[in-house]
Amino acid sequence: MTLRTKTFRRAAFAVLLAFGLTAAAPLVFAQDTPAAPPSSTEATAATSEVGTAEAVAADPATSETAAPAAAVAEPAPAEEAAAEAEAPPTVDKGDTAWMMVATLLVTLMAVPGLALFYGGLVRSKNMLSVLMQVLTVFSLIVVLWAVYGYSLAFVGGGKIFGSFDALFLQGITIDSLAATFTAGVAIPELIFVAFQSTFAGITCALIVGAFAERMKFSAVLIFSVIWFTFCYIPIAHMVWAGPGYLFTLGAIDFAGGTVVHINAGVAGLVGAYFVGKRLGYGKEKLPPHNLTLTMVGASLLWVGWFGFNAGSNLEATAGAALAFINTLMATAAAVLSWSLVEALFRRKASMLGAASGAVAGLVAITPACGTVGVMGAIIIGLAAGALCFWGVSGLKRLLGADDSLDVFGVHGVGGILGALLTGVFSAGSLGGIKGDDYSIAAQVMIQAEAVAITIVWSAAVAAVAFFLIKVTIGLRVTEEEEREGLDIASHGESAYS
């Protein structure tokens, strides 16, 4: 066999191999990435390689220069990196669909979840007033979020506030994208706006439980607007927006331990002081009128909280799965620990206690759900159930406030505990996702600073808001209206015929 014949066969084999690999490549990678047309650079390179191989087959004399020619045709690594950097972000349909579902789940938390949970805890003559307050406050804040809240919280700005660049969602269209935690992956900005609006809405709705059964409906709405504008928005910006002070400090709050729960709990406690105690508080029993509804509401909160926590991952990835299972495990652990502690101190484990324990576990795992391991989540849940039991009993007596539905005892105390323990159990050595250079002590100090800023800021804004309302339109209904019940006095209807 001559040298020319051998060279010809080798060249033919190379051509066949090249075509075989080209045909097989889509089959090999089809499960990982969707098929896409090759870029102009890739197409040019492929054409050059095939043309070179054909030239070798036609003229073996060119074999010595064929390899260098092919190498020149291939794009350099630097050019590939530049092309990737210029590529538009990828929008995955699965991520978008998940964020829509997560937004629906958070809405479910508020209406009817929170409304039923609170409604069952008040007396029957105030049932509709609580439902109305939760529904209306949530709706009011969602609208304000679109008008100016989103712009001031997430669009540009400095360390405390955003900017006015997106007032009335100006400039946000169906083509606008919001970044996720993965480089080069985005979601439609409109669904991010909607998702975050539900967080703002339920945070303000949480506060009404602290002064339920005695506050004017108009005063509730005015307070919600003031507090949302001057407290929720800046805290959300500081914690979650890129330029925000606590974000740049390195505070970890995956889904709202400081922004939602500590924030609302402190505001509720301040409100309980300003509005005053209910008639008969401490002198007569003021029992919940329907614990069945409270159990239904707590269950809806638990279900909806999966959207709250796992949705905060912004993508349907392993990060969402971690937040999902942590939400499940911490809540279950808190139910058990609250019930156990209650049985030890009161000799009976109550349904109200178990439902409250579930909420305490959900609150405490919220800031940590995306960064701690499963065992860390269980420990956080166990601690939350026990500590929040003390928060609604011993601590409540020490504070001397009539926090009607234990907003501070559960959300404030549970949020503080969760924020601090996030700094502990996020460590890789304890099952978290943080690396070897992670310092538990340093992170706990950062978490403590975030907690302190949230407490002081929320208390100050709430105090000013309640004071202004008190000296203008008044905070509280008349004694006669309170005795009659707010369902009739404020809304002219009754929950039960």
Alpha carbons 361 and 335: distance in angstroms, whole number? 7
Q: What is the pLDDT of residue 424?
A: 98
Are residues 310 and 366 in contact, defined by beta-carbon separation less than 8 angstroms?
no
- Band the pLDDT of 134: cuts 50, 70, 90: very high
C-alpha angle 171-176-177 in degrees, rounded to nearest 5: 140
Residues 6+ apart with CB under 8 A from 257: 363, 364, 366, 367, 368, 415, 418, 419, 422
**Cβ-based burial of 327 (10 A; exposed 0-12, middle 13-18, buried ≥19):** buried
Structure tokens at 235: 């805290």
**Interval 387-443: pLDDT, tens:** 999 999 999 999 999 999 999 999 999 999 999 999 999 999 999 999 999 999 999
Are residues 493 and 128 in contact, defined by beta-carbon separation less than 8 angstroms?
yes
Q: What is the pLDDT of residue 3?
A: 36
Which CATH number does the domain 94-491 belong to among 1.10.10.10, 3.30.1490.20, 1.10.3430.10, 3.30.2090.10?
Answer: 1.10.3430.10
Q: In what order do the strands lie in the sheet with 177-179?
A: 90-91, 185-188, 177-179
**Interval 67-79: pLDDT, tens:** 333 333 444 555 5
Instruction: With a cut of 90, say whether residue 333 has pLDDT above it.
Output: yes
pTM: 0.83
Alpha carbons 447 and 454: distance in angstroms, whole number? 11
Residues 6+ apart with CB under 8 A from 436: 428
Alpha carbons 79 and 67: distance in angstroms, whole number? 20
For CATH 1.10.3430.10, list the domain ranges present in the chain: 94-491
Q: What is the pLDDT of residue 497?
A: 80
SS3 227: helix
Instruction: With a cut of 80, say whether residue 338 has pLDDT above it.
Output: yes
**Interval 200-229: pLDDT, tens:** 999 999 999 999 999 999 999 999 999 999
Average model confidence (pLDDT) across the chain:
87
Residues 6+ apart with CB under 8 A from 49: 18, 70, 73
**Interval 9-56: pLDDT, tens:** 443 433 333 333 333 333 333 333 333 333 333 333 333 333 333 333
Alpha carbons 102 and 106: distance in angstroms, whole number? 6
Alpha carbons 152 and 161: distance in angstroms, whole number? 6
Structure tokens at 2: 């001559």
Backbone angles phi, psi at 371, to 5 degrees: -130, -15
Alpha carbons 373 and 325: distance in angstroms, whole number? 9
Q: What is the pLDDT of residue 87?
A: 79
Q: What is the pLDDT of residue 52?
A: 37
Alpha carbons 224 and 244: distance in angstroms, whole number? 23
**Cβ-based burial of 409 (10 A; exposed 0-12, middle 13-18, buried ≥19):** buried
Residue of 250, 251, 222 lying closest to 471 (CA atoms): 222
Q: What is the pLDDT of residue 80?
A: 57
